[in-house]
Amino acid sequence: MQLFAASFTALATALLLASPLAAQEIDPATATANAALEAAPVFDGHNDVPNQLRARVANQINGFDFADTTGTGEGHPQGAVMQTDLARMKQGKVGAQYWSVYVPSNPDEAEAVQEVIEQIDVTKRLIARFPEGLRYAETADQVERAMAEGKVASLLGMEGGHSIGSSLAVLRQLYALGARYMTLTHNSNTPWADAGTDTPVHGGLSAFGMDVVREMNRIGMLVDLSHVSEATMMDTLDVAKAPVIFSHSGARAINGHPRNVPDSVLARLAENGGIVMVVALPGFLNEERRQWFAQRSAEEARLKALFQGQPETVTATMDAWDKANPEPATGIKHMADHIDHIRKVAGVESIGIGGDFDGMPSGPVGFEDVRGYPLLFAELARRGYSQVELELIASRNAMRVLRAAEAYAASVADMAPIETLITPPAMPK
């Protein structure tokens, strides 16, 4: 009888340990993360699915299956599979998403304006084609309603000020079409703002650029400072009357890439009320990986100079270099390190998440696609973040910022539109 009782106890213990409930009990961090994401699903700041639609299917989406994109590698030259679909967003606990209606930097601004309208069109059509998973949203209230109904609230964000054609009138009309944030630059300067990865021209924002920020505040469009120079960040914080966002950036103190936010700016962010939505791109997260890439680029440039007209030699020698110098692995812990630093300098209310999925080859190990958010939040819980703090990072901070932008716009509803022209017309003779 004692032997039977012992065996029964052992079996019961094994079954308990194998149950999902026991797994949560064994791993309190996972339980805390799951509870946080149940209460406040992820409100992600940046996803490049719209650009994938342009690049892969020329925006012809009537036959495109966004419910499951795991088979999209078959038609891609490098076999790259898309990182986002409805099934994986559900697994990743995504409740709201800014879809990036990005178009490449273009000195022909009229062409850029046309292309961004095309990207707005295809994104709205994608949302409308999949009502079982997506719900179009323009306001914080609409985001909350969609999330409450289990849909992914879907907002539009423009990446790059070239999309307005240096016209405040175009800016206003793109807001009317649904764009709820604009990144002031992409990788290149605009005629009115310096990018972080281009040679400075304006010393930050030009006078017209400052009026762009003022007009964005007036109409309720969020100012996104990812991609811009430190001087542009500082000028914007001097002018802005509403919270700013960094839709997909990290902390420069952890990784020195100019796409990341320096401590000088982080120190001012709490006063502004803005947030850094931490990016997942390995080159912006892992400093060792950034240094490796610089060394690899230098070696490739050296070989091309040595073996001009001999591309086969360059390729073979670089293959040998790659084998001897493998890319350093980037993991979820690197992303959490950036969150730790931003909390230390700016506070937990200054943090969000901006994965940049489908705008990069892959995220970190364990965070390769949109399924990875729960693992990130479990890592943060293991580092001592409370459920309340995790809820702030997941979506409550992003919701607060969106509401603040709407509230400021409502407070100045009687203000006349700004009519500044980037180049004042010549006076008649």
pLDDT at 426 (0 to 100): 62
Give me the CATH code for the 29-286+330-411 domain, please.
Answer: 3.20.20.140
Q: Is the pTM of this model over 0.75?
A: yes
pLDDT at 76 (0 to 100): 87
Q: What is the mean pLDDT of residues 244-265?
A: 98
User: Of 44, 224, 349, 356, which residue is the catalytic one?
Assistant: 356
159 part of the active site: yes
User: Of 162, 248, 338, 341, which residue is the catalytic one?
Assistant: 248
H-helix or E-strand containing 94?
Answer: strand 94-100
Choose among 84, 88, 114: nearest CA to 101: 114
pLDDT at 7 (0 to 100): 39
Q: Which token pair is 140? A: 């914080």
Asked if pLDDT for residue 282 goes beyond 80, the answer is yes
User: Of 186, 257, 338, 341, which residue is the catalytic one?
Assistant: 186
Asked if pLDDT for residue 125 goes beyond 70, the answer is yes
Band (353; pLDDT cuts 50, 70, 90): very high
User: Residue 95, SS3?
Assistant: strand
Displacement of CA 5 from its chain's centroid (Å): 56
> Domain map of the chain by residue range?
29-286+330-411, 287-329
pLDDT at 107 (0 to 100): 86
The label of the residue with tokens 């038609």 reads 75
CA separation (Å) from 154 to 44, 241, 338, 387? 10, 25, 26, 25
**Per residue in 375-418, pLDDT tens?**
999 999 999 999 999 999 999 999 999 999 999 999 999 999 99
248 part of the active site: yes
pLDDT at 75 (0 to 100): 80
**DSSP symbols for 148-187:** HTT-EEEEEEEE-GGGGTT-HHHHHHHHHTTEEEEES-SS
Displacement of CA 329 from its chain's centroid (Å): 21
Q: Which token pair is 18? A: 């194998």
Q: Are 206 and 190 in contact (CB under 8 A)?
A: no
User: Of 162, 202, 227, 341, which residue is the catalytic one?
Assistant: 227
74 part of the active site: no
Q: Could you give the CA distance from residue 207 to residue 213 in angstroms, rounded to a whole number?
A: 10
User: Of 48, 85, 349, 391, which residue is the catalytic one?
Assistant: 48
Lowest mean pLDDT among 12-16, 303-307, 412-416: 12-16
Q: Which token pair is 77? A: 């030259």
46 part of the active site: yes
**Per residue in 179-192, pLDDT tens?**
999 999 999 999 99
**Per residue in 373-383, pLDDT tens?**
999 999 999 99
Choose among 163, 160, 167, 54: nearest CA to 112: 163
Q: Which token pair is 166? A: 């240096």
DSSP label of 286: -
pLDDT at 16 (0 to 100): 39
Band (2; pLDDT cuts 50, 70, 90): very low
User: Of 85, 159, 349, 369, which residue is the catalytic one?
Assistant: 159
Asked if pLDDT for residue 313 goes beyond 80, the answer is yes
Q: Which token pair is 54? A: 């342009």
Q: Could you give the CA distance from residue 84 to residue 278 in angstroms, rounded to a whole number?
A: 18
Q: State which of 7-21, 283-297, 411-425 shows the largest mean pLDDT.
A: 283-297
Residue type, 235: D
Q: Are 331 and 366 in contact (CB under 8 A)?
A: yes
| Dihedral sign (CA 86, 89, 93, 98) | negative
User: Of 44, 46, 230, 369, which residue is the catalytic one?
Assistant: 46
Q: What is the mean pLDDT of residues 316-333?
A: 98
27 part of the active site: no
Q: Which token pair is 218? A: 């007036």
Residue type, 367: F
356 part of the active site: yes
pLDDT at 103 (0 to 100): 94
